[in-house]
Amino acid sequence: MRVRQTVFSTPRLTLTTWAEGDLADFHALHADPRTMRFFLSGPYDAAKAARRLADFRREQDAWGWTKWRVEDARGRTVGRGGFGLSDDGKHRELGYLLAPDLWGQGRATELARALTEWHFAHPDPRLGRDLLAFAHVNNGASRRVLEKVGFILTGEDDWHGVPHAFYRLAAP
């Protein structure tokens, strides 16, 4: 059994590793159509949630990073945030998702800023130092978050047949 570990904390959020028993919260978060509105997968059923959570746990073990669990001050699972591997396999790619009751409070910006700081403080020698990100072209809230924390728009293109905006944050 894996013990939950804290990755880092911000003033209002804590990132932790995933632990046994997180599946119900993970599934509830990813089954919400509002939360998953801009994700190509759409809302997750229980089987997809179980597979995706297992992926995150494997990534954590293999790479030392993943999209970790986000909890609020009360210890509730309220999102996920961290990194995936870019399509070309050469960079980390920032990703985050928060429950709708946290939207509009600056928490996504707080999370994204802390994640970018973590990325540059913990380079992966197998990958480039720049950090990549993307968002659905109509996801104005996520695009604003990326721009607030310093990402530069590099272009718009289809990703799996859906228009997305692509961003890069250069290493300092």
116 within some domain: yes
Asked if residue 164 belongs to a domain, the reply is no
pLDDT digits (tens, 9 = 90+) for 84-100: 999 999 999 999 999 99
User: Is the predicted pLDDT of residue 37 greater than 90, yes or no?
Assistant: no
pLDDT mean over 151-161: 94
For residue 10, the enclosing domain spans 6-124
43 assigned to some structural domain: yes
Report DSSP letters for the chain, one per residue. Answer: -PPP-EEEE-SS-EEE---TT-HHHHHHHHH-TTTTTT-TT-S--HHHHHHHHHHHHHHHHHHS--EEEEE-TT--EEEEEEEEE-TTSSSEEEEEEE-GGGTTTTHHHHHHHHHHHHHHHS--TTS-SSEEEEEETT-HHHHHHHHHTT-EEEEEEEETTEEEEEEEE---
pLDDT in tens, 109-148: 999 999 999 999 999 999 999 999 999 999 999 999 999 9
- CATH number, domain containing residue 86: 3.40.630.30
> Is residue 166 in a domain?
no
pLDDT for residue 1 is more than 70 = no
Q: Is residue 1 part of a domain?
A: no
Number of domains in the chain: 1
Residue 134 belongs to a domain: no
